[in-house]
Amino acid sequence: MAPRIALVPDPHGPGGRLQPLDDAGTPLGPPATAPDLAAAVAAAERDGTVRWVWAAADSAYAPLLPRLPDRLARCHDLRLVEALLLAHEGRFGAPRSLGAAWARLHGLPVPPDLPEPGSAESDDGQDTLFAPDRLQLPPGADPLAAVVAVHAEQQRRLTAIRDDGARARFRLLVAAESAGALVAAEMAYDGLPWRADIHDRLLTELLGPRPGVPGSRPRILADLAAELQQALGGRPFNPDSHTQVLRAFADRGIQLGSTRSWELKGVDHPAARLLVRYKELSRIHTAHGWAWQDAWARGGRFRPEYVVGGVVSGRWASRGGGALQIPRILRRAVVADPGWLLVVADAAQLEPRVLAALSQDAGLARTAAGGDLYEALAASAFHGDRDKAKLGLLGAMYGQTSGDIGPLLNTLRHRYPAAMGYVEAAARTGEDGGVVASRLGRVCPPPSADWLDLTEAAETAGDAGGRSARARGRFTRNFVIQASAADWALALLAALRRRLAALPVAGPADRPHLVFFQHDEVVVHTPANLADEVAVAVAAAADEARLLVFGDTPVRFPLTTAVVDCYADAK
DNA sequence: AGACCCGGCGCC
DNA sequence: AAAGGGCGCCGGGTCT
């Protein structure tokens, strides 16, 4: 059995072509043509040791999913790996399509990446329906040969990383990012269980009945708007308009710097309270109301599109539906199917633990060896004041200098010199125009040309350039932590997916599966009788991720795990 | 009418 | 003095 098989679906039809490869990417025998690609893939997958090599999961895996009897175990996603490699090689942001990588390999002009479907630049025409067209290969080029060649080149570039440890970690990143592509495609296909009836009831309680005329304000919102108008003297204004709101308050002698709710909460006037309430409800109505339900949550499932590596730090992004910003109150609508349960697990205080592991600060690691990190930090350095401990550490990780946190930072610097030195070195690198990397080797973007102009001009005067340099320092300071946390989360996801696939089930339809992933939190939808085993699998996956990403560290990454019927009951 | 930016706020 | 990192999405507002 070949360890790797390159796979290219036919653009129109169920067939495709396959090419067995060795681990270096060298073809083992001739390519094969399959009239039914799903059947051929399923047959080759039997023992679960194949690593499938494809141009991109959205064109190769997503169309296959409905026709596969079970999920695939492993893949190498050329587009995602190309982006990782380019950044690592100092070519951040170069086009990453199969065609672009192929063109670079042959010294030909490199085609730009096509805009994502659904984005502003995309015409969303028919051509986007045929995913292979997005690969940007020149006419006449053989897609299978291109996949084989680009994969071999990527393997070569991986081998070229000199340092053994760095190479091993980067390979782990490549595998974890690719596993993410599998998870993202599967979660988009399966969807998050979503009870439209409960969602509807919640909306009705909060906003009033669904308006008959789409686009008009539901009753409670309309009432609030009217009350607000009365409270500010009765002259009509649109509460959705920032400028009109500022003017309406100013007319009553209340000068606001903005209409942000934290500022309104400090204003002692009935209108301020009404406006805060209006904004809260209006947000739910416009962002996750009935229109959202019609567009995204039909047939009992919410189906967003996840974008693996969509954030430079390696966090995922989403396209459409605001999948990663579901208001907590609406988690009430996420309910397991009858006979099924949700296992909800989130990493407790992930980022400070990542800082402890990255910096190998012995003192901070001791606070991160057990339960509540902030509690331990408070006990050892802040006279038991947990709030101060948390504020100080978050400020250190985000580069905050405002408020009263100066003394807190000084305490941290004194007690945890290695940890503070780590983030401060990252900040200095950024301020100087350098790049930093995550634990596994994901490299941050370099400064823009604008940034370089701005900071050079600032050599003589500390103005916009100095501000810009400090902003970049905050970015790189946070990047090392956020991106290393994303490394860990991806490793967790990959390990968990593998463990779920190994659970004994009667058939694929009874298999526990991931339905949600949000930075440091996972939700698994599982038959009720397997829920305890899933909870064990999540904990084991978290510890496996710790070992893989950070090696021998005393830092622990505990999860808060809940087995629930409804997502809202998890916290 | 459509492109674009901004303020604001949801999530981590 | 300056003043917390990363996103996506909405409506308003402005420009073309």
Q: Quick: pLDDT tens for A362-400.
A: 999 999 998 899 999 999 999 999 999 999 999 999 998
Q: Are A472 and A541 contained in the same domain?
A: no
Pair A217, A144 in one domain:
no
Q: Is the CB of A451 under 7 A from strand C?
A: no
pLDDT band at A216 (very low <50, low <70, confident <90, very high): confident
Do both A379 and A404 map to the same domain? yes
A58: CB partners within 8 A, 6+ apart = A131, A185
Shared domain for A167 and A43, answered yes or no, is yes
Domain boundary among A156, A190, A224: A190
Q: What percent of chain A has pLDDT over 70?
A: 95
| A261 C-beta less than 7 Å away from strand B | yes
Q: What is chain A's Cα-based Rg?
A: 26
Average pLDDT score over chain A = 92
Token pair of A17 as six digits: 């072509």
pLDDT for A456 = 76
Q: Which of A37, A38, A35, A52 is nearest to A1 (CA)?
A: A52
Q: Please write the tens of the pLDDT for every residue from A406-421.
A: 999 999 999 999 999 9
Give the domain-ending residue among A157, A175, A190. Answer: A190
Instruction: Estimate in Å the CA A83 to C1' C7 gap, whole number.
Output: 19
Residue nearest to nucleotide B7 (CA to C1'): A242
Are the CB atoms for A8 and A16 separated by under 8 Å? yes
Q: Which nucleotide is the nearest neighbour of A521, by CA and C1'?
A: B12
Stated in angstroms, how far is A418 CA from C15 C1'?
51
Distance in Å from C7's C1' to A219's CA comes to: 32
The answer to whether residues A124 and A218 belong to one domain is: no
For nucleotide C12, the protein residue with its alpha carbon nearest to C1' is A241
Q: Which nucleotides of C are covered by protein (CB under 7 A)?
A: 1-13
Q: What is the DSSP code string of A472-494?
A: HHHHHHHHHHHHHHHHHHHHHHH
Q: Write the DSSP symbol of residue A67.
A: G
Which amino acid residue lies closest to nucleotide B12, measuring CA to C1'? A519
Residue A214: per-residue pLDDT: 77
In a domain, A84, yes or no: yes
Q: Are A188 and A61 in contact (CB under 8 A)?
A: no
Segment holding A4, helix H or strand E: strand A4-9
Q: Give CA–CA dist A101/A104, Å, rounded.
A: 5
Residue A418, classified by CB atoms within 10 Å of its CB into exposed (0-12), middle (13-18) or buried (19+), is middle
> Could you tell me if A13 and A161 lie in one domain?
yes
At A273-313, the pLDDT tens digits run 999 999 999 999 999 999 999 999 999 999 998 999 999 99
Query: A132 and A56 in contact (C-beta within 8 Å)?
Result: no
Answer with the one of A485, A511, A540 that is the final residue of a domain.
A485
What single DSSP character describes residue A384? T
Residue A298 lies in a domain: no
Residues A96 and A121 in one domain: yes
What's the CATH number where A384 sits?
A: 1.10.150.20
Domain that holds residue A538: 304-350+487-570
The alpha carbon dihedral of A178, A307, A72, A114 has a sign of negative
Q: Count the domains in chain A.
A: 4
What is the per-residue pLDDT for A122? 45
CA–CA dist A513, A320 (Å, integer): 22
Pair A242, A174 in one domain: no
Nucleotide nearest to A120 (CA to C1'): B3
Q: Are the CB atoms for A289 and A207 separated by under 8 Å?
A: yes
Cα–chain center distance at A130: 26
Task: Tell me, yes or no, whether A340 and A399 share the same domain.
Answer: no
CATH code, domain with A247: 1.20.1060.10
